[in-house]
């Protein structure tokens, strides 16, 4: 093909030379007028220009068939930025997308026969690895360097990093170093039909901005309780401090039930107004404790709703504090006199003791009489009973005729008021009442006889003593 191009060019050249060596055309001879005469060198130049143009057209027409390409210059040009928002709050746990963009271009391209096409381009960042460094930013990076792979020119790739912003992170804008390590095609050498590649390693570090927002943050420095026992309403007193970097306006402290917590707030918020940085306030909340709560410490969640600098009402990050719960008010019973006869009315005396962890105010003991018992008065006043106090209660109980002699359980509860004047009913307890057998006919005869004999023996002994000691004198 090359020989054909050379032959075509030679032919064209010969034609051009032959044409330029001929005699002048009419108008160029000695007899021509000055106005219509043209110089021979002008004609020669035009013909040569036409010949050169013909040669170029032949090359252009034949070059797609015979030529390969070669890129001479161009290197990777990498940029980095955070995709989406780059503004975060203290305590955030996020996956941070870092976008890498390659704006590298191949500037020159040579098209020539005999060149072997290269598989790699010099603008491609090969084996790209991205590393995120916290530097002085208050963040913890929980991800290893991310392998992105090959990134061609005009291409983008995203590296994802798991990070956590510190709870006490100061507000401000931080520059996060992003390091990109890669390999690129530095040079390619062709020797005959062999193409040799030469690669170089490169490393670039760029800074991407990250903003930590100014927020109000809580610190719970104290907790106290009042009458906080299982089954009762009580108070929780908290000391709350703003340790963040923003002043809160129109602030209100809120408590809410934590998962698996026995607390149900009945007065769960307290307005405190302005809550500037560094300020500390005391707040009291009224909560109801579940009746099945144990005597131990349970979690309570606290947060602040406030108006921020942008004029929006937002909630602070919630904080959890442990609140102790006392043992519920419980009573034990001990029968003092609880033996009755069938068909009779008797007084049953029962002893009650407060074995719980709180005071029972205006306590009353109550029994529930069921067959074979009846009662006209099922309530006895016990008064205020602090933990450990003991009181006795007496109940008039009638027993049905023909009742079986055995031990019975009579249900009893104590109704009292807690420190917030709520009426509370204790757990049920059983009072053991014993029905003893009624005396038979034999007993009615024998017992009086025994009594008469005993009295006669006492009288006889008394008479002998009198006769022996007093009459003899």
Q: What would the mean pLDDT of 149-161 be, rounded to a whole number?
A: 94
**Among 36-50, 113-127, 402-416, which is the least confidently predicted range?**
36-50
The torsion of the CA quartet 262, 266, 269, 271, rounded to 10 degrees, works out to -150
Residue 231 · residue 291 · CB < 8 Å: yes
Cα gap 186→152, rounded to integer Å: 15
DSSP of 222-264, one letter per residue? Answer: EEEEES-BTTSEEEEEEEEEE-SSS-EEEEEEEEEEPTT--EE
Residue among 267, 205, 227, 285 at smallest CA distance from 416: 227
Stretch among 58-62, 285-289, 434-438 having the lowest mean pLDDT: 58-62
CA distance 61 to 52: 14
Q: Tell me the C-alpha distance between 321 and 327, whole Å.
A: 19
Give the DSSP letter of residue 371.
T
* CA-wise closest residue to 142 among 126, 128, 160: 160
- Least Cα distance to 249 among 220, 219, 269, 279 occurs for 279
Question: Nearest Cα to 236, choosing from 183, 186, 193, 297?
Answer: 297
Q: Please tell me the distance from the alpha carbon of residue 397 to that of residue 428, in angstroms, as a whole number.
A: 19
pLDDT at 269: 94
CA distance 154 to 149: 15
- Report whether pLDDT(90) > 50: yes
- pLDDT band at 441; cut points 50, 70, 90: low
- Answer whether residue 99 shows pLDDT above 60: yes
> Hey, what are 111's tokens?
């098209």
- H helices of 383-440, in order, are none
Task: Report the C-alpha gap between 182 and 179 in whole angstroms.
Answer: 10
Q: Which two tokens stand for residue 218?
A: 């809580």
**pLDDT (0 to 100) of residue 107:** 56
Whether the per-residue pLDDT at 445 is higher than 80: the answer is no
CATH superfamily entry for domain 218-324: Immunoglobulins (2.60.40.10)
Contacts of 178 (CB under 8 A, 6+ apart): 80, 98, 130, 131, 132, 133, 205, 206, 207, 208
Residue 385: pLDDT over 90: yes
Kindly report, residue by residue over 224-236, the tens digit of the pLDDT: 998 888 888 899 9
Burial class (CB in 10 A: 0-12, 13-18, 19+), 142: exposed
Would you state the pLDDT for residue 45? Answer: 53
With contact defined as beta carbons under 8 Å apart, do 78 and 206 qualify?
yes
For the chain, what is the largest distance between any 2 Cα atoms, rounded to a whole number of angstroms? 215
Q: What pLDDT score does 413 carry?
A: 95
* Cα dist from 364 to 324, 376, 392, 396, 427, whole Å: 28, 16, 11, 16, 13
Closest listed residue to residue 279, CA positions, set 221, 214, 213, 212 = 221
**Domain edges within the chain:** 2-66, 78-212, 218-324, 331-435, 444-473
| Cα of 437 vs its chain's centroid, Å | 69
Residue-level pLDDT at 419: 83
Distance from C-alpha of 169 to C-alpha of 306, rounded to nearest angstrom:
19
When pLDDT is cut at 50, 70 and 90, the band that residue 36 belongs to is: very low
pLDDT for 331-377, tens place per residue?
Answer: 999 988 878 899 889 899 999 999 988 889 999 999 998 999 999 88
Cβ atoms of residues 358 and 329 within 8 Å: yes
Choose between 175 and 261: higher pLDDT. Answer: 175
78 pLDDT band, cuts 50/70/90, is: very high
d(CA 292, CA 472): 82
Question: What pLDDT sits at residue 463?
Answer: 72
Rounded to an integer, what distance in angstroms lies between the CA atom of residue 316 and that of residue 284?
A: 19
Q: What is the pLDDT of residue 116?
A: 52
The Cα angle at residue 370 between residues 368 and 375, in degrees rounded to 5: 65
Checking DSSP bridges between strand 218-226 and strand 248-257, what pairing results, if any?
A: unpaired
Check residues 42 and 208 and name the one with the higher pLDDT. 208
Instruction: Report whether pLDDT(139) > 90.
Output: yes
User: Above 70 in pLDDT, residue 128?
Assistant: yes
Give the tens place of pLDDT for each residue, 253-262: 999 988 878 9
Indicate the pairing of strand 68-71 with strand 109-112: antiparallel
Q: Which pLDDT band holds residue 53 (cuts at 50, 70, 90)?
A: low
Q: Is residue 131's pLDDT more than 80?
A: yes
- Which residues 6+ apart lie within 8 Å of 297 measured at CB? 322, 323, 324, 325
- Tens-place pLDDT, residues 275-314: 999 999 999 999 999 988 888 999 999 999 999 988 999 9
Q: Looking at 54-58, 321-325, 326-330, 383-387, which range is the least confident one?
A: 54-58
Is domain 331-435 in CATH 1.10.357.10, yes or no? no
The Cα 163–Cα 289 span in angstroms is 39
Mean per-residue pLDDT of the chain: 82
Q: Is the pLDDT of residue 242 over 90?
A: yes
The residue among 233, 223, 238, 309 whose CA lies nearest residue 269 is 238
pLDDT at 65: 39
CB 16 within 8 A of CB 48: yes
What's the rounded mean pLDDT across residues 193-202? 83
- For residues 237-249, give the mean pLDDT: 94
Q: What is the DSSP letter of 465?
A: H
Contact 11, 58 (CB under 8 A): no
Tell me the three state secondary structure of residue 446: helix
C-alpha–C-alpha distance, residues 379 and 399, integer Å: 18
Top pLDDT among 125 and 463 is at: 125
Tokens read off for 51: 């010949």
78-212: what fold? Immunoglobulin-like (2.60.40)
pLDDT confidence tier of residue 31, bands split at 50, 70 and 90: very low
Q: What is the pLDDT of residue 117?
A: 57
Residues 91 and 213: their CA atoms lie apart, in Å, by: 11
Q: Which residue has the tokens 């001879």?
A: 29
Confidence of residue 119 (pLDDT cuts 50, 70, 90): low
> Where does the pLDDT of residue 54 fall: very low under 50, low under 70, confident under 90, or very high at 90 and above?
low
Name the pTM for this structure. 0.59
């Amino acid at each position: 093909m090359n020989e054909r191009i050379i032959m075509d060019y030679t032919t064209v050249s010969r034609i051009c030379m032959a044409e330029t060596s001929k005699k002048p055309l009419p108008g160029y001879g000695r007899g021509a007028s000055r106005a219509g005469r043209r110089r021979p060198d002008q004609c020669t130049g035009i013909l040569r220009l036409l010949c050169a143009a013909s040669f170029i057209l032949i090359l252009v027409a034949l070059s797609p068939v015979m030529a390969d390409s070669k890129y001479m210059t161009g290197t990777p040009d990498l940029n980095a930025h955070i995709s989406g928002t780059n503004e975060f709050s203290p305590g955030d746990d996020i996956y941070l997308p870092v976008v890498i963009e390659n704006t590298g271009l191949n500037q020159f391209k040579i098209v020539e026969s005999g060149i072997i096409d290269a598989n790699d381009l010099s603008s491609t960042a090969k084996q790209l690895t991205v590393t995120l460094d916290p530097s002085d930013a208050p963040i913890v990076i929980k991800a290893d360097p991310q392998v992105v792979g090959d990134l061609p020119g005009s291409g983008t790739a995203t590296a994802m990093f798991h990070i956590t912003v510190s709870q006490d992170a100061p507000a401000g804008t931080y520059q996060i170093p992003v390091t990109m390590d890669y390999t690129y095609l530095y040079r390619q050498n062709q020797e005959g039909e062999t193409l040799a590649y030469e690669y170089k390693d490169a490393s670039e570090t760029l800074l991407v901005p990250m903003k930590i927002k100014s927020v109000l943050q809580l610190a719970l420095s104290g907790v106290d309780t009042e009458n906080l026992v299982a089954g009762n309403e009580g108070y929780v007193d908290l000391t709350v401090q703003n340790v963040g970097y923003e002043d809160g306006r129109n602030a209100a402290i809120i408590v809410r039930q934590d998962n698996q917590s026995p607390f149900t707030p009945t007065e769960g918020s307290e307005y405190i107004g302005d809550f500037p940085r560094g300020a500390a306030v005391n707040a009291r909340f009224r909560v109801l404790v579940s009746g099945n709560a144990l005597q131990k410490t349970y979690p309570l969640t606290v947060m602040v709703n406030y108006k921020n600098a942008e004029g929006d009402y937002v909630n602070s990050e919630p904080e959890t504090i442990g609140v102790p719960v006392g043992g519920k008010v419980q009573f034990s019973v001990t029968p003092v006199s609880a033996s009755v006869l069938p068909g009779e009315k008797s007084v049953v005396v029962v002893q009650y003791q407060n074995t719980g962890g709180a005071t029972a105010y205006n306590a009353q003991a109550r029994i529930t009489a069921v067959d074979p018992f009846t009662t006209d008065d099922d309530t006895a006043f016990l008064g205020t009973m602090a933990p450990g106090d003991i009181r006795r209660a007496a109940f008039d109980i009638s027993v049905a005729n023909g009742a079986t002699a055995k031990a019975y359980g009579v249900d009893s509860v104590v109704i009292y008021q807690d420190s917030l004047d709520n009426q509370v009913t204790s757990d049920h307890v059983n009072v053991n009442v014993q029905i003893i057998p009624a005396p038979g006919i034999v007993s009615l005869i024998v017992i009086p006889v025994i009594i008469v004999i005993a009295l006669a023996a006492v009288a006889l002994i008394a008479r002998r003593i009198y006769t022996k000691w007093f009459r003899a004198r």
